[in-house]
Structure 1
Amino acid sequence: MGETNWAGNHGYAAEAVLTPRTTEEVRAAVEAATTVKALGSRHCFNDIADAPGGVLLDLSALNTGSLENPVEINAEAATVTVGGSARYGDFVGQLHEAGFALPNLASLPHITVAGSVATGTHGSGRRLQGLASAVSALELVTADGGLRTFSREADPDVFPGLVVGLGALGVVTRLTLDVVPTFEVRQNVFEGLPWTAVHQHFDEIEDAGYSVSLFTDWTGDRIDQVWVKSRVEPGAPVTALPGLHGAVPADRPRHPVAAAGVPAVHCTPQLGVPGPWHERLPHFALAFTPSVGEELQSEYFVPYGDAVAAIEAVRGLGDQLAPVLLVCEIRAIAGDDLWLSPSHGGDRVALHFTWRPRQPEVEALLPLLEERLAPFGARPHWGKLFHSSALSGHYPRMADFRALAHDLDPGGKFRTPFIRRTVFGEAGIRLQNRPPHHTP
């Protein structure tokens, strides 16, 4: 077929890719398929969005803002409803102009809402939940081609299991998100934070802003960069931030992946200049390729209280990680009640690894990395590279999610190898990958 994911490291093993333009076409395609999966922005690094031998539905033609999938802002209810193919960058400006904001955004606005929430993707902020927590309702095409709407209010027993759904429950065609009044943010970057300060003042560092990210290559005695995003309250004076526990303010804009040599113009504005939330909360500007582009990613979530110990455990691997690593981002996320959210049940700290595009070397390191993080019950990001598929013990509601999947998809139409391996724990189900440039 020749189709690949964003990074080009996974060649889809599906037999066909369809591009439905309406919800009715999505329903017809799902009903006719024996195995099916939806594609969003393709920003996953494993086979979660693949359907070997089946059909992939590229939803990019379901353009948000069209008559089929309009952006609907409900000021009275404080919500926005968007199509399943909507990228955050497609509508956040419109939301801001209407006087509203999302509480948080991921580091890149290029990803779709449906794909982001289905995999538990998040932003940064000790008191900010992952992106899926903003979802208050969703429209789902089920295995029989039916169209069902679920909401937090009407379906409280199952809704926490539907949002981070991994594509195992159906195809999401519309979502409703909670919004808040719009606000401004300033972004400051600090350099050279001593590791000793991380150990001694971790809580204070995480509380230094609305959103805080630490970037490191795990070598040396200092964190390379700390990105602090602070809310600017109306009428409050904007004062310079002199330093951060030994780190000093950057004297010019920076790119977090310094090792790749990507210009800082690809990033959102820094140096403490206030601006709209949607132009500061992401690290990367919509007009440019985010991060590096040619890269691989892994991410692991540990309980907030174990963060410093987990960081020390990974630091012990610094010399082994450095040759393959571009950068690692450390950030906190507030806990939630979504069944398969990596932050289910309590606050977490995420260790996000951006790797050089050398997959065999990365895959050789993952078991060692996961062994170091195992004492902390580390949960991998569903859409990134990880080694272990024994995940049931990490999620107390996994049995409930399996039951929900059986109820909505009794024939297993959405039960792809990834779902069988990670959710149902079927032994011997390997990662399905066709060489990226293979033509059948």
Structure 2
Amino acid sequence: MKLSHIACIFVALLGAIVWQIVHVVVEFEYSSYSSPHSATALSRWNQLTTATTNGVAPTFCNFDGNVCCRTSTEVQFPKSIEEVQEVVRDAVMRGSRVRVSGAGHSMSSVVCDPTPRGDSVNGGAPPLTILSLDRMQRVLDVHRLAMNDTASLLSSPLDVTTAYVTVEAGLRLIELNRALRYLGLGLKNMGLIQEQSVAGLMATGVHGTGNRLPSIPSIVHSMDVVLANGSLVTWSRDSNPEMFRYARLHLGLFGVVVRATLEVTDLYDLQRHNAVTTLEQVLKHMHEHQRTFRHYQFWWVAGTKYALVNAMDMVEVPVIADGGDIPLMCHVFRQHLPVMRAAQSVGLRPCKFHVDLDAVDSSSIVSPPPQPPKVLTPLRKALSAFKTDLTFDIAVRLSNMFPSVGPLILQLLPYLEPESEDLVGWGPDILTFPGINFHAVRYTELEYFVPMKYATTAVRWFVSFAEEHRVDCPINSIDPIRTVRGDNVPLSPLYGWYGDNDNDGDNGGGIALSFVLVQRDDIFTQCASIVEAAMLKMEGRPHWGKRHPLVRTYEDVVALFGADVVDRYRAAVLDADPHGVFQTEELRVLFGLMTTTSH
């Protein structure tokens, strides 16, 4: 073996070890499973996670910096509902519009109309007040459903299959997940990253993956909203259900959502089977697999014939008989299945309990893996020995840092990824991919949802588009194609997409397909418009938090959802905010709202 090969292996092993240790130690503080529903646990959690946002800013920008707007006052950071009410009343008295920012993760202009360069205050538009909920991130209460009634888990710590958690709307998803884990609970579904706020998740209709699992707005049980007159109202399935129906995906148009109650479930772990296979095999088995697995998605590597498949199912959360916490070493071993299998086969139990290693039946995932060039074989073997998506994460991060050679870096992925591997761990750890969170670079994304009946056609079209436009629209990133379930949330891109029943894998639900360009704002609109036009022909609908250059008018939205749905949504908005305090110019045009602001 050449010295260069040995050096590559050494670097890969060292990096993987450091990665594993950091990952485990960081998460270990949040891993207690003892007394999960106690008042003490909730109190301690809130002490551990005090919001630390300080200072104010005269200009709001989203996380990527591609949408910025100047405000007439400094960005406001209220710490309580009373302070939110005060900010809203003051803004209305000054004749200012009010918009709320969550984590600023949307790259569409959903928070505010971008300020043209050189303008002092939003191009002559009415004054604007931006309100951030970053200082409102507490977990307030947890309830279980029992006999059509609710009982607080804080006073009745019983086993549950469905529970409700009430949180302040500024709470970040990553902290919500950690809090739920601390309380012995978990979200039913989630997306690929955890940086968004609860209010933002609702506002833009965030989804996860899985043909039988709900979108985030679908799990909202109730919400508390500050209206333009400063009053606080509660909307739920039982209290003003018509307003609740439309405000679950609110786009910031109804008021300031300050609290939300979400339907959650028992804590669970996931096993993810990763495989490298051909795109043809993926498309051949896609309908079967998205019905079979709890979560199913795949990543097509542009410029190749290969795809990376992720198939996931639940595994039972381990329980310690003596009520203690899971040992630190268990976190290492249970994420490294070859070692765990070997240990359990000879009677050793590093975790003090038996871990189910066969939740995912991967026999149906056909995986004729690509054979790497001989020079890459030692590196692939070294990387295959470790968990945590190390190869994938490094490749994606490098492609983002060097977008001009991004396609070449990503094309190495099928040859470096393990041919087949299984990962077991806490649900959010297995579902999310930190490497695809591009906070360190500038990128722009279009995401479209296409009904399942067009899924294969849409993927094949996208592959042909990438080949045809490899020069003028070079895909220098990677994004998953995810299966999603239909819902009943008006204006959700998944609205009404049910088949004969909720589990109809061929006709119900759809797929989410993304087009991402890193550091290429100059060509994004031109390229994304080509993709969007094709998706619209397949009855596609856009993600409201992503760019959608061809959906710009009321007529465009009506074509997507029908006049009845859009007009009822508009009526609900005007009922909640008759003077347009929470509107932006773009949203007014999209939904046919009033054209002037009056107070």
* TM norm. shorter chain > 0.5: yes
| 1:371 aligned partner, one-letter code | A
Q: Aligned partners of 2:173, 2:221: CA distance in 1, in Å?
A: 16
Contact 1:209–1:231 under 8 Å retained in 2: no
1:96-107 paired onto structure 2 within 5 Å:
96-107=181-192
Check if 1:406 corresponds to 2:475. Answer: no
Contact 1:257–1:292 under 8 Å retained in 2: no
Q: Aligned partners of 2:216, 2:176: CA distance in 1, in Å?
A: 15
1:290 to 437, 445, 458: 437
Q: Aligned partners of 1:143, 1:157: CA distance in 2, in Å?
A: 19
Contact 2:64–2:439 under 8 Å retained in 1: no
> 1:271 Cα shift?
4.5
Match of 1:357 in 2: 519
> 1:392 Cα shift?
2.1
> 1:341 Cα shift?
0.8
2:496 to 345, 351, 364: 345
> 1:171 Cα shift?
0.8
2:282 to 174, 178, 198: 198
1:227 to 302, 305, 310: 310
> 1:42 Cα shift?
0.3
Match of 1:10 in 2: 67
Deviations 1:373-404 (CA, angstroms, capped at 9, x unpaired): 12212111101111121222212311101001
Q: Aligned partners of 1:50, 1:177: CA distance in 2, in Å?
A: 27
Contact 2:475–2:516 under 8 Å retained in 1: no
Q: Aligned partners of 1:84, 1:360: CA distance in 2, in Å?
A: 35
| 1:340 aligned partner, one-letter code | L
Q: Aligned partners of 2:532, 2:244: CA distance in 1, in Å?
A: 31
TM-score normalised by L of structure 1: 0.86
Contact 1:190–1:243 under 8 Å retained in 2: no
Check if 1:331 corresponds to 2:482. Answer: yes
Deviations 1:102-144 (CA, angstroms, capped at 9, x unpaired): 1011211111111011101111111112111110000111111
Deviations 1:150-175 (CA, angstroms, capped at 9, x unpaired): 01233333322010011111110000
Check if 1:32 corresponds to 2:117. Answer: no
1:75 to 124, 131, 144: 144
* Aligned CA distance change for structure 1 residues 373 and 169 (closer, same or farther; 3 Å): same
> 1:243 Cα shift?
7.3
| 2:454 aligned partner, one-letter code | D
Give the structure with the larger helix fraction: 2
Q: Aligned partners of 1:323, 1:426: CA distance in 2, in Å?
A: 40
Q: Which consecutive residues of structure 2, in runs of 5 or more, have no partner in the other structure?
A: 1-57, 114-121, 151-162, 318-353, 371-382, 401-419, 498-508
Match of 2:297 in 1: 213
| 1:299 aligned partner, one-letter code | E
- Alpha-carbon RMSD: 2.6
Q: Aligned partners of 1:83, 1:90: CA distance in 2, in Å?
A: 12
2:366 to 245, 249, 253: 245
* Aligned CA distance change for structure 1 residues 334 and 189 (closer, same or farther; 3 Å): same
> 1:247 Cα shift?
5.3
| 1:128 aligned partner, one-letter code | L
> 1:345 Cα shift?
0.3
Q: Aligned partners of 2:134, 2:292: CA distance in 1, in Å?
A: 38
Match of 2:49 in 1: none
Task: Name the count of aligned residue pairs.
Answer: 411
Q: Aligned partners of 2:574, 2:561: CA distance in 1, in Å?
A: 18
Contact 2:580–2:594 under 8 Å retained in 1: no
Q: Which consecutive residues of structure 1, in runs of 5 or more, have no partner in the other structure?
A: 264-269, 428-440
Match of 2:46 in 1: none
Q: Aligned partners of 1:291, 1:231: CA distance in 2, in Å?
A: 28
Q: Which piece of structure 1 moves more, 362-371 or 38-47? A: 362-371
Q: Which piece of structure 1 moves more, 375-384 or 8-17? A: 8-17
Check if 1:92 corresponds to 2:254. Answer: no
Match of 2:26 in 1: none
Match of 1:267 in 2: none
Higher relative contact order (CA 8 A, sep 6+): 1
Check if 1:318 corresponds to 2:466. Answer: yes
Q: Aligned partners of 1:71, 1:247: CA distance in 2, in Å?
A: 50
> 1:74 Cα shift?
1.4
1:264-303 paired onto structure 2 within 5 Å:
271-284=421-434, 290-291=437-438, 293-294=440-441, 295-303=443-451
1:19-58 paired onto structure 2 within 5 Å:
19-33=77-91, 34-50=96-112, 52=122, 53-58=127-132
Q: Aligned partners of 2:213, 2:183: CA distance in 1, in Å?
A: 22
Q: Which piece of structure 1 moves more, 177-186 or 389-398? A: 389-398
- Secondary structure of 2:483's match? strand
Contact 2:188–2:213 under 8 Å retained in 1: yes
Q: Which piece of structure 1 moves more, 228-237 or 209-218? A: 228-237
* Aligned CA distance change for structure 1 residues 2 and 168 (closer, same or farther; 3 Å): closer
* Aligned CA distance change for structure 1 residues 372 and 124 (closer, same or farther; 3 Å): same
Check if 1:374 corresponds to 2:536. Answer: yes
- Secondary structure of 2:495's match? coil
Q: Aligned partners of 1:110, 1:195: CA distance in 2, in Å?
A: 30
TM-score normalised by L of structure 2: 0.64
Contact 1:119–1:381 under 8 Å retained in 2: yes
1:109-188 paired onto structure 2 within 5 Å:
109-188=194-273
Contact 1:327–1:355 under 8 Å retained in 2: no
- Secondary structure of 1:354's match? strand
Contact 1:324–1:358 under 8 Å retained in 2: no
Give the structure with the larger strand fraction: 1
Identical-pair percentage: 25
